Amino acid sequence: MSKVAISSVKEGDEYSFTVNDFNRTQFVKYAGGGGDFNPIHHDQTFAEKAGLETVFGMGLLTAGILSRVPVEWFGRPQSTSTTYSSANVSGRVIMLNSKALSPKRMKKMVLPMLT
């Protein structure tokens, strides 16, 4: 979708995308770039000893992926914020669906849950 002026978006307009290849290699690459070498993000044995089924992606990696919604829809925003509701595990398909709010609330556009 091409970028649109935020003033042209109507309540209920939708934007979505899918990330099909969210994987452990991405976690390791992101760790290298961001310096987050917590083994919970790449070491299966460590994750299992911590009581988890598997490793999971960093929160900021998720936020970066989520930032595609406002960037691709409107262009670069002044700021964004993210609330985390679940961990992103390797092999998960990330589908994001966004729906525009009323014009009064557009500046605080709600980004979707990961499924």
Give domain limits for the chain.
6-108
Whether the Cβ atoms of residue 20 and residue 106 lie closer than 8 Å to each other = no
Please tell me the least confidently modeled range out of 15-24, 38-47, 63-72, 99-108. 99-108
Q: How confident is the model at residue 103 (pLDDT cuts 50, 70, 90)?
A: low
- What kind of fold does domain 6-108 have according to CATH? Thiol Ester Dehydrase; Chain A (3.10.129)
What angle, rounded to 10 degrees, do the helices at 59-66 and 24-34 form?
100
**pLDDT tens digits for range 48-88:** 999 998 898 888 887 787 777 777 776 776 666 666 677 77
Examine the pLDDT at 93 and tell me if it is beyond 60.
yes
pTM given for the model: 0.62
